[in-house]
Structure 1
Amino acid sequence: MFSIKILHSVSKILLSFTLLCTCIAIADDAAFMSKLAKALSPTPSGWSGTSFCEWKGVRCTTNGVSSINIASQSLTGTLPPDLNSLSQLTSLSLQGNALSGALPSLANLSMLETVFLEGNIFSSIPDGCFQGLLSLQSLSMADNFNLAPWRIPAELTQSTNLVILDLGNTNLIGTLPDVFDSLVSLRELRLSYNNLTGGLPKTFAVSGIQNLWLNNQKDGFGFSGTIEVLASMTRLSRVWLFKNLFTGPIPDLSNCTALFDLQLSDNQLTGVVPPSLMSLSSLLKVSLDNNVLQGPVPSFGKGVKVTLDGVNSFCRKDSGPCDSRVTTLLDIAKDFGYPLQLARSWSGNDPCGDWSFVVCATGKIVTMNLAKQNLTGTISPAFANLTDLKNLYLNDNHLGGSIPGDLVNLAQLRILDVSNNNLSGDVPKFPTKVKFNNAGNLLLGHSRGGGGSDTTPSSGSSDAPTESPNTASGGFSLSSAWIAGIVVIGVFFVSMVVVVFCTCHTINWHWTLEKVKNLENEKKVVLIEGQSVIMSIQFLCQVTNNFSEKNILGRGGFGQRGFG
């Protein structure tokens, strides 16, 4: 009975404490709502009386305010700074007004799920504004163009339930943080009309993003690099990347089976439009205009709305295949990653017209000089299809991989310069008539290619174009493995010499010491600590014939010197 009374008393105390906390929370909410009503002009429609939970657009629970919706009422004013005192708030809709000043902190509103602030003129966002929003599902702040420059806040990674993030036209700067593996629920990302730069984050590949708007970064800004990561974003349905600085080829998007809207215009994309894109059954809209795309004009299905207006570098103005020489050169460019400088100058269907880096004779490509073009990638086996090629300069780039063995089959080849790259693997054996220079490739095999010379001709050579490099000779170079082997052998030889010397010295010392010990046993000498030797006077008389003058070698400051 006594225990029941205690439990009953404890229950009353807890209930009283809960009611007290609720009263305090409601009182705090009442204080904030009163300040909010006074801060807004005009006062929102239906906001009169003291019972704020009955105001139009305001909802409450037993613990306090849970929702505020005063959207599109042409309100002005500055929000009170203690907005995050509404601890029970789950929804905040203030969009479509002219609210100004600093946005109040939303930190630690752990129940907040939706925030709509777009279409206002807020001036700044405090540090840590989005800290601890553990329930946040939608954040929309678009068209707050008056904001001071700010960056995407790192604390948003705590909002693992975030589905929609719209920060378009909010004066964002910097690069995208590589944190999208943390935003596991994100489906829509809109960052259009900002000042963003840099490449697409690698963690896009493991995100669940379906709609991606990164278009229209402002003049002087824009995303750059390749769009290869899109190939791994298999849930994509809409992608707007137009008006940026993207380069490189369009990736294989065949795994993006839900993609229906792809806007890539006004970038610097290069290469051939992949057949997998043209055959993507889900695709309904695609824009590719104002890039530097190459190859044949792409042909999409009848139901696809395509825009190809503006600048591109297609080989023809109408549909149809490219000249075989153009096809070969584009295969070569593919292994370089379709570099922009080639795409800009390789336009049209006649490479012997005014294509840079290409020299022709009677319609046949005889020289390609791609030296010092900052090329990356690998040397394409397609060079072997240029059967009339005499001179090939690829020196002073950043090419990796091996030298294609098919190049030895170029019957007309006279000069091949691949020096100063990052090539590796075996060196093909070229005929002796080929002047071959492979210097400056530390990982390349050490043997010479064929018996040809290792030097390129001077710029005045009849076979070389006037811009060809005049590279110093030195095609033969030891690989790092050979150098390491020589060093190891040298160290081993020196070590053996030192060991032999020390061994001989030790043996000689022990022999001498043993001889002295024998004399000691005969009581003629005494061996003391430190291996010093004391000889008896009898022994000295014996060995010097009683100190005979016949044994004197000379005299000095310490007396006579003799032998015995």
Structure 2
Amino acid sequence: MKSREPICSSFSPLTSFLFSFLLIYFMTTNTTNATISSSSYDYGNETDHLALLSFKSLITHDPYGALSSWNTSFHFCDWSGVTCGKQHKRVTVLQLTSQGLKGSLSPHVGNLSFLRELSLGNNSLQKTIPHELGRLYRLRVLNLSRNKFSGVIPTNLSGCSNLETLGLGVNELFGSIPKEISFLPKLTMLSLSENRLTGGVPSFLGNITSLELLSLPKNPFGGTIPDTFGHLKSLKELYLGVCNLTGSIPLSIYNLSLLTELSLPSNHLTGSLPLAICSMLPALTGLQLWGNQLTGILPSSISNCSKLTTFDITNNSFSGKLTIDFSKLTDIVSIGLGNNLFGGAQTNEMNFIDSLNNCSKLNYLFLYNCNFEGALPVSIGNLSDKLSFLNLGANRLYGNLPSSIGNLVGLSRLVLSSNKLIGIIPSSIGKLEKLKIALFYENQFSGPIPDAFGNLSGINRLALHSNKLEGVIPLSLGNCYGLELLYLSNNRLSGNIPKQLLQLPSLTIALELSQNNLFGSLPSEVGDLKMLMFLNLSHNNLSGNIPSSLSGCTSLSYLDINHNLFQGMLPQSLSSMRGLVELDLSHNNLSGQIPRFIEGFPLYALNLSFNDFEGEVPVKGVFANASGISVVGNRKLCGGSRELGLPRCKKKEKNKSKRWFIVFVIILFIASTLLVISCVVYVLFKKKRTGQHSQSSTSGRFSKVSYDQLLKATDGFSEDNLIGKGGTSSVYKGVFEHDDRFVAVKVLHLQIRGAHKNFIRECEAWRSTRHRNLLKIITSCSSVDFQGNDFKALVYEFMPNGSLHDWLHSSAHEPGLNLIQRINILIDVASALDYLHNCCVTTIVHCDLKPSNILLDDDMVAHVGDFGLAQFLGTMSDLNSSSGLKGTIGYAPPEYGLGNVMTSSGDVYSFGILLLEVMTGKNPTHNMFNEGHSLYKLVSMTLVDHAVTVTDVVDKDAIIMQSTKADAKKVEECLASILKIGLSCSAYSPAQRMKIENVVNELHHIKDALQNIQVYK
């Protein structure tokens, strides 16, 4: 066959030329000829049209309908987010930021050859960044920040030779920064923040001399700050915080005279600052060096940085007298000097306060734990009326608190705690009507609590504990309608508890009145505190009966009234307080029997000691755990668990011996009949055996099953039914013939060392534990297979929602877990650990807590499984356990690596890491955590950064969008509280780790707080 000839092959050369000229003319000219339909496109337009359609085809979720106009009813230049050139009708801008889009970015976007701006920031686009974007040589702005892009940065972005802005921050990119980025001659802004980039901060970035902004924070780069950055003479903003950087700040950095923002926080930088820093950086407006290891004196030349608005060097080791004259810093808004070593009992240490009087824009002053010693000058009252945050805590301040403090009418947070302040608290404090948090604890304040506190109607938290305050609790506190937490413990207060205080519906977190001299009865109004979680009235002289109205406190988790003079019986109405986890009624005069309803409380600690209780001690609930209760000092009690050591209760004698004889005969007859039936069943069953050592299941209930039953249930242990594989076992999905329930069959690989021991431990755990959040073993199998080999297996209840690991790290689960689901899972796991550690007769340490061992049922309830490494403390199993590392790298506590014995605090450490993983979505063993960087450090460094919200570290799927700033703030506080629990649990020292029972309590509090946010509901 002849090949098809080109259409114009028969044209003369002149005709061909004219045809080509006209074609090019019509392709490049904006014609208005009526004969050309508005819906028809030339070649270039059709390319753009198809590229946009391809973009839309890969968007899987468009919650706000951003692409709803992308249809044939409109020309694509009229589509939402699309801008075209006026002359050629080619796409020049694609702008779809903050539209909630999910999916991936089509490589065909690289065909939009006239594109000058591509802005898709703040969406949920994932997978890799298409290398085809390198074709867009006209592109000036590329913004893909705040998405879920993974993979490496495409090297051929260097083809975008006109690129001025490159924003790829807040994604999941990994690898190193490609050298090709330095080939972009017009680049003025480069942002790669909050990714997983490694390999150090490359020195070749110093070759991009056009750069004005370089933002690389929150990447685990490691290494040092390149000296070549001194070549960036146009640079105005440099952000390298939380990059695991070491070494000193290169002197070349101080040659960048245009620099306005120098942000290097939360690294491991050492050395000191040059004495002439502000002469070298005259344009500086922001200096953020907090969270490093910088030393030396703070240069007095900072006084000359007249344009400074933010100055934060907290958490370093600067020392010496503070000699900065702040009077020249008239634009300063935020000053953070906390956690340094400035003080030294020098004269006039606090005089620098005088120089702050000219700082009329000052909003934030953080001087916590600076070792300052001296009296607060009266000039403290001359600070800016815009000052909202003043923290002078943990210093050595003495003398009186000047009444001029009342001039700071803009204050929302005032921290004076942990000093040596004396005298009365001035009544001028009542002028601070915007005050939300006031912390005066651990001083030596004396005299009465000022009535003026009642003027602070919006105050949330007031802590006056551990002082020498006396007199009565002022009735005016009943006017503090926003009060959530009140700490007055460890003072010298007397009088009655004012009922006005107990009628505050806002009082939801804690009321702490312990260790005072309060007397009288507990007002019945206490029942109005329906949402209160923590109530401590211990160590006072309160008397009378416990009011039945206390039952109205249905949200209480902690109730402590020990060391008072309460008397009488516990009201039956208290049975409604089913949220209590800790109850202390000790050292009172309470009487009567211990109510049975306490058995139903989820208590982990109950103290009834030194009262006058009588009768039999219950044995269920918390009473089954002798280590969790105390009943000493009650002489009339009997019974209870054997560990309590109480006398047996006397049974009333009955003379109706004939009745007992009849009952005995009936029981004997029934027992004999059952024995005969059992023998018959056994004989019949014996005949049906096929030689295996196991027994078959009957009637839907499983006793031990045989190898052939498991073989049939799993379809011959087929690969199709394999749902998991570990070091010593494989897990198969199966179903038995007589029961339509799915089960999970864990087959032990006995040829692998330790598998047999794992089987024994799991069986021991099965026999010793019963809890809703522990994975239930239905039965076991210890038999031989068809080749005569030993065979051991465990049959578990099947968990249809798989493992927590899959939900956190698998793309199969989209969307991921929301915030409440994550908290529920954490509560489930913590409750299981609490049970293992504190409620079992023998303390059980799991030793291998991690997301893959947490399984989820139909209702997303979490179940802890895999007890193959479990230890039973105080038993031969514990004593004979081998030393060395137990558990999984990343989750095993550091002390196990040193050969220490297994303890419950080791499980708490593993839980802490698991919590941080659940909340951040980041695996602790990911390659982003290397060279000293870790998940723990990532979270801890985030929490100390008051300029960065916790939402920057929390997994995006767990973020709850709120319609008001107040609700958003509450959610952020809850997130911070959860992360702090994780940090506390995973502390390096076992002694510093949080008790697991307290973890359960705190997580419940946080969950309740979230569910009380109206917008969330």
1:95 is the counterpart of 2:121: yes
Residue 34 (structure 1) aligns with: 53
Paired AA for residue 242 in structure 2: N
Within the candidate set 82, 99, 110, 1:58 is matched to 82
Q: Within 5 Å, give how 1:128-143 maps onto structure 2.
A: 128-143=155-170
Q: 1:76, CA displacement in angstroms? A: 0.9
1-structure distance, mates of 2:69, 2:153: 31
SS in 2 for 1:16: helix
2-structure distance, mates of 1:183, 1:60: 31
The 8 Å contact of residues 165 and 190 in structure 1, kept in 2 or not, is answered as yes
Residue 307 (structure 2) aligns with: 282
The 8 Å contact of residues 288 and 307 in structure 1, kept in 2 or not, is answered as yes
Residue 224 (structure 2) aligns with: 199
1-structure distance, mates of 2:347, 2:114: 63
Residue 178 (structure 1) aligns with: 203
SS in 2 for 1:37: helix
The 8 Å contact of residues 39 and 79 in structure 1, kept in 2 or not, is answered as yes
Paired AA for residue 112 in structure 2: L
* TM-score for both structures, normalised by structure 1: 0.51
The 8 Å contact of residues 174 and 196 in structure 1, kept in 2 or not, is answered as yes
Q: 1:170, CA displacement in angstroms? A: 1.6
Cα 1:295–1:38 change in 2 (3 A) is same
The 8 Å contact of residues 51 and 109 in structure 2, kept in 1 or not, is answered as yes
Cα 1:58–1:7 change in 2 (3 A) is same
Within the candidate set 96, 99, 104, 1:78 is matched to 104
Within the candidate set 235, 239, 243, 1:209 is matched to 235
The 8 Å contact of residues 200 and 229 in structure 1, kept in 2 or not, is answered as no
Look at both structures and tell me which one has the larger radius of gyration over its CA atoms: 1
Residue 113 (structure 1) aligns with: 140
Q: 1:66, CA displacement in angstroms? A: 1.4
Paired AA for residue 70 in structure 2: W
2-structure distance, mates of 1:317, 1:153: 52
Q: 1:67, CA displacement in angstroms? A: 1.2
Cα 1:68–1:197 change in 2 (3 A) is same
Residue 16 (structure 1) aligns with: 23
Within the candidate set 184, 192, 204, 1:159 is matched to 184
Paired AA for residue 263 in structure 2: W
2-structure distance, mates of 1:223, 1:104: 34
Cα 1:195–1:54 change in 2 (3 A) is same
The 8 Å contact of residues 227 and 253 in structure 2, kept in 1 or not, is answered as no
The 8 Å contact of residues 320 and 343 in structure 2, kept in 1 or not, is answered as yes
The 8 Å contact of residues 165 and 189 in structure 1, kept in 2 or not, is answered as yes
1:311 is the counterpart of 2:340: yes
Q: Within 5 Å, give how 1:406-485 maps onto structure 2.
A: none
Paired AA for residue 14 in structure 1: F
The 8 Å contact of residues 104 and 125 in structure 1, kept in 2 or not, is answered as no
CA deviations over 1:195-242 (Å, ceiling 9, x no partner) = 12222222221211111111133xxx2343334232111111111111
2-structure distance, mates of 1:108, 1:189: 24
The 8 Å contact of residues 130 and 155 in structure 1, kept in 2 or not, is answered as yes
The 8 Å contact of residues 317 and 340 in structure 2, kept in 1 or not, is answered as yes
Q: 1:182, CA displacement in angstroms? A: 2.8
The 8 Å contact of residues 104 and 129 in structure 1, kept in 2 or not, is answered as no
Cα 1:319–1:205 change in 2 (3 A) is farther
Residue 229 (structure 1) aligns with: 252
Paired AA for residue 141 in structure 2: T
* TM-score for both structures, normalised by structure 2: 0.29
Cα 1:34–1:238 change in 2 (3 A) is same
The 8 Å contact of residues 265 and 289 in structure 2, kept in 1 or not, is answered as yes
Within the candidate set 220, 243, 255, 2:266 is matched to 243
Q: 1:107, CA displacement in angstroms? A: 0.9
The 8 Å contact of residues 132 and 155 in structure 1, kept in 2 or not, is answered as no
Q: 1:60, CA displacement in angstroms? A: 2.3
2-structure distance, mates of 1:193, 1:45: 36
1-structure distance, mates of 2:166, 2:315: 33
1-structure distance, mates of 2:81, 2:142: 14
Cα 1:169–1:120 change in 2 (3 A) is same
SS in 1 for 2:134: coil
1-structure distance, mates of 2:119, 2:298: 44
Paired AA for residue 338 in structure 2: D
2-structure distance, mates of 1:113, 1:67: 10
Cα 1:135–1:116 change in 2 (3 A) is same
The 8 Å contact of residues 39 and 80 in structure 1, kept in 2 or not, is answered as yes
1-structure distance, mates of 2:254, 2:342: 24
Q: Within 5 Å, give how 1:361-440 maps onto structure 2.
A: none
Paired AA for residue 158 in structure 1: F
The 8 Å contact of residues 108 and 131 in structure 1, kept in 2 or not, is answered as no
1-structure distance, mates of 2:207, 2:348: 45
Q: 1:18, CA displacement in angstroms? A: 5.9
Cα 1:60–1:348 change in 2 (3 A) is closer
Cα 1:79–1:306 change in 2 (3 A) is closer
Residue 152 (structure 2) aligns with: 125
Residue 881 (structure 2) aligns with: none
1-structure distance, mates of 2:153, 2:107: 10
Residue 524 (structure 1) aligns with: none
CA deviations over 1:235-263 (Å, ceiling 9, x no partner) = 11111111111111112321211112111
2-structure distance, mates of 1:112, 1:172: 24
Q: 1:308, CA displacement in angstroms? A: 1.5
2-structure distance, mates of 1:284, 1:126: 35
Paired AA for residue 16 in structure 1: L
1-structure distance, mates of 2:83, 2:289: 44
Paired AA for residue 198 in structure 1: G
Residue 262 (structure 1) aligns with: 287
Cα 1:37–1:215 change in 2 (3 A) is same
Paired AA for residue 130 in structure 1: L
The structure with the largest helix share of the pair is 2
Residue 168 (structure 1) aligns with: 193
Superposition CA RMSD, Å:
3.0
SS in 2 for 1:25: helix
Q: 1:9, CA displacement in angstroms? A: 7.9
SS in 1 for 2:158: coil
Name stretches of at least 5 consecutive residues in structure 1 with no aligned partner.
322-346, 350-564
2-structure distance, mates of 1:200, 1:275: 25
Residue 847 (structure 2) aligns with: none
SS in 2 for 1:249: coil
Cα 1:137–1:176 change in 2 (3 A) is same
Task: Give the number of the structure with larger relative contact order, counting CA–CA contacts within 8 Å between residues 6 or more apart.
Answer: 1
Paired AA for residue 56 in structure 2: A
Q: 1:178, CA displacement in angstroms? A: 1.6
Paired AA for residue 251 in structure 2: E
The 8 Å contact of residues 197 and 224 in structure 1, kept in 2 or not, is answered as no
The 8 Å contact of residues 228 and 250 in structure 1, kept in 2 or not, is answered as no
Paired AA for residue 309 in structure 1: G
- Identity among equivalent positions (%) equals 27
Q: 1:319, CA displacement in angstroms? A: 5.3
Residue 3 (structure 2) aligns with: none
The 8 Å contact of residues 66 and 89 in structure 1, kept in 2 or not, is answered as yes
